[in-house]
Structure 1
């Protein structure tokens, strides 16, 4: 037993906050076609958990309020579960079945006697067709860690575990855990003064049932946009990420008719070389706040975003929980999911879930439903050489399908302007030729 790191403590304490989600679980649904060897799979999962101490660690609150990490010697009895055969063969029916099952799995993560941080459930459907559902407590993995687990599970299932290097255990004492007060960090107090406005409707997560039911919309931009973004980043002398942040900020300004927009982005806080091969959660949420007036145009927002992203990177490991506590103290008892922010922007340069493989079978990731919107709006941007996709997940009590479509429309126009796809006065191509969308 040892004191949890500041990041681990934040994730645990968030679950006890008023109106918070009681569990944060990374879920993966893999459809496996072919002769899946269940004994080999179970042995591989056991070996994976024994390799990484973070997968054998759970957490408790001391009487003092301190979060304690409890390391177990072996994997828990709930690591692997084999369900009865469903007889299903249609992918949509299988997806619905797994989404229902996942709710039960997630409930286990709120149980006080839970042991395993990783839980695997295998569901046979018909001959040579299985679902493998992996549920991992978010406190144990970020995207980089998930990629490590993917590659190691493939090696272990293939029976080649002796080729793996010794893992670096997660060291809670080795990450930064001591931070100065808000007023001692340049720019932090200004970031919170006055508190960021709540520019989206703010439903009460406890008093309005269904207010955080997810509403989703997606839009894809096609492969050509990546090349245009590369050219635009060279022209504007900034990264593609800065361009994406500016486009989202501008879309939110247009949608909300507000000049003062804020959002959080997850940033990797790894600093030591060994941390990049370590399974653990090394992310922190960083607050970005744009106050560039709409009258200054998208160019003004882009120029501001250069410094916003640079400054955010410099304080990427400053605990978001400290800023949230300050916001909560000032807002008082106003009911809300989060007192500091309403929007989260999650950016990725690849879909990590496409990397799951197992020897001798075909593995296909299946999209899981979001059981609940974590905040009023989450913006998922995935950029790859083949496509760029935006997925919006809104809370039903704050945004409806029409709102999400309007937001995507504003984002699309910002992307066009930033990439020079539609110079002023140029003839407009039909939107659906370059930008497809769907709402549900």
Structure 2
């Protein structure tokens, strides 16, 4: 690529979903991926800046921004920006707040850059490097690769050498094109049928929360840290081997029981990420590959621990066989069957078991220690992250929505989880109790789904209705649509709603906030809103005010 060359490619399925989420809730820090390093010793900030820019220049994903064309979100890959590494002096007592402030700064997906680094200096030879990337260009594995390459480049520049990183066989855009070629036709249809069968009738998880669900969530969160002791882990590993299962499957079985006790439900669906690197040439590439799977478990009938692990094992094996199915497509299957509005969360809990070895980070005159600061944001109502530790067994991080749960409740949940694991290890042939805890469910803000009522056909009549009818038909692949027919009921999805918004903007020069479209959308109502905005433009002599995230061409 030359210095002024720009390449445009379709977004990957994961990027498309993340782009849409950002359009619905712009600037959410839950979409930010943080890597923090404590640096002790003599630091060469210029060598660090060069190392950062070398890694960004090496990986096209890190110099990518996004836009929307007629077919959907696209990657726009340009020359590498010249990034700086500012240094800020911070008192040790203010360090956590300073990290949080850096993590929560919004990214602009249209303009970039989508990676930044800041040094927080707490003493002359003590810094915390805060590396933040938007999730649309990275994931957990990629962040570890970034830190390893950053360290290698920094060491090389200190020695006066050029970094000896191995050449990349492909870039993220090559993976994207392969994914679009591979996931179509009968293969995609088969994956869709199998996941539709797995998820048919899966209810949303309604946890017993301490407070009602907010009408407008802020995604504020916190994290409770605890351990799963090493002796207990050894017994669980032995049980997993006996049952031809993995440690992850045992932990998932216990997490399902925990969620059942704190919801009163016995049909539990949990999201869990897979690396998404299904080809060997992707191993050293930075990008957004992770693809969560929806793992559904029936905990009813008072199964023994062995029986429950067997159910989880069989469900996981099937899901892993079909792990290429995009997470966004699985969520859309749930949304359609639940008749939810676009943008409504479909999964409330996640389980992550870390299995990547921690790279050894060494440079001359510098001791590097990875940190895990709390971003104070929650992607899910509950997310359990387990990391192996040679001394303690597993370090566990239970991230939770602080809008819904008190810290004391989550501490109780963590203790309950360990108790469930101890019971499984002590007597795998005893029934596992899913008796609900003594709590009352809080009111749920969304009404239960109702079957769609037959709407009498009314033909479009006004010029705006006729033009919108043509847009609806083209986007939905239909020939006739009544002005009272709901866009989503007709087969529209979140992405096609955004395409509709762009078509309306191009045709009429009016803007709609994304959230305004994520309810009921029909030709009659949309025509009225378009007309109202056109009249407002005439009266004011200018376009209605748009939000900063919606002013892009």
Q: TM bucket by the smaller chain?
A: 0.7 to 0.9
Question: What does residue 145 of structure 1 align with?
Answer: 142
Q: Deviations over 1:80-119 (max 9, x none)?
A: 2313434x2x3x4322222223323xx1x136432x2321
CA distance in 2, matches of 1:363, 1:36: 11
CA contact (8 A) 1:416 1:422 kept: no
CA distance in 1, matches of 2:380, 2:275: 21
Judge which range, 45-54 or 325-334, deviates more: 325-334
> Pick from 405, 409, 426: which aligns with 1:403?
409
SS of match in other structure, 1:405 = helix
SS of match in other structure, 1:218 = strand
TM-aligned CA distance change 1:228 to 1:196, over 3 Å: same
Note if 1:73 corresponds to 2:76. Answer: no
CA contact (8 A) 1:337 1:375 kept: no
SS of match in other structure, 1:166 = coil
Question: What does residue 97 of structure 2 align with?
Answer: 96
Alignment of 1:47-58 (within 5 A): 47-58=54-65
CA distance in 1, matches of 2:21, 2:335: 13
Q: Deviations over 1:395-439 (max 9, x none)?
A: 133332333233223321221133338998xxxxxxxxxxxxxxx
CA contact (8 A) 2:141 2:275 kept: no
> Pick from 223, 230, 239: which aligns with 2:246?
239
CA contact (8 A) 2:65 2:109 kept: no
Question: What does residue 366 of structure 1 align with?
Answer: 371
Question: What does residue 429 of structure 1 align with?
Answer: none
CA contact (8 A) 1:394 1:400 kept: no
Note if 1:344 corresponds to 2:350. Answer: yes
CA distance in 1, matches of 2:128, 2:48: 13
Question: What does residue 119 of structure 1 align with?
Answer: 116
CA contact (8 A) 2:13 2:328 kept: no
CA contact (8 A) 1:204 1:336 kept: no
| Unmatched tracts of structure 1, length 5 or more | 425-440
Q: Deviations over 1:112-139 (max 9, x none)?
A: 432x232111233331122211111222
Q: Return the structure number with greater relative CO, CA threshold 8 A, min gap 6.
A: 1
Deviation of 1:369 after TM superposition, in Å, equals 2.1
> Pick from 254, 258, 270: which aligns with 2:277?
270
Deviation of 1:337 after TM superposition, in Å, equals 5.1
CA contact (8 A) 2:192 2:325 kept: no
CA distance in 2, matches of 1:19, 1:228: 45
Note if 1:157 corresponds to 2:154. Answer: yes
Deviation of 1:357 after TM superposition, in Å, equals 4.1
Question: What does residue 265 of structure 2 align with?
Answer: 258
CA distance in 1, matches of 2:95, 2:196: 50
CA distance in 1, matches of 2:197, 2:238: 34
CA contact (8 A) 1:60 1:69 kept: yes
CA distance in 2, matches of 1:19, 1:190: 33
Larger of the two Rg values belongs to structure: 2
> Pick from 63, 82, 106: which aligns with 2:86?
82
Note if 1:213 corresponds to 2:220. Answer: yes
* TM-score where L is the length of structure 2: 0.68
Alignment root-mean-square deviation, CA: 2.9
Deviation of 1:181 after TM superposition, in Å, equals 5.9
Deviation of 1:142 after TM superposition, in Å, equals 2.4
Q: Deviations over 1:346-384 (max 9, x none)?
A: 1103574x7544432122233322232112111111123
TM-aligned CA distance change 1:47 to 1:321, over 3 Å: same
CA contact (8 A) 1:254 1:410 kept: no
SS of match in other structure, 2:293 = strand
* TM-score where L is the length of structure 1: 0.84
Q: Deviations over 1:234-260 (max 9, x none)?
A: 222211111111111122122222211
CA distance in 1, matches of 2:287, 2:87: 29
Question: What does residue 203 of structure 2 align with?
Answer: 196
CA contact (8 A) 1:205 1:336 kept: no
Question: What does residue 295 of structure 2 align with?
Answer: 288
CA distance in 2, matches of 1:24, 1:418: 35
Deviation of 1:65 after TM superposition, in Å, equals 5.2
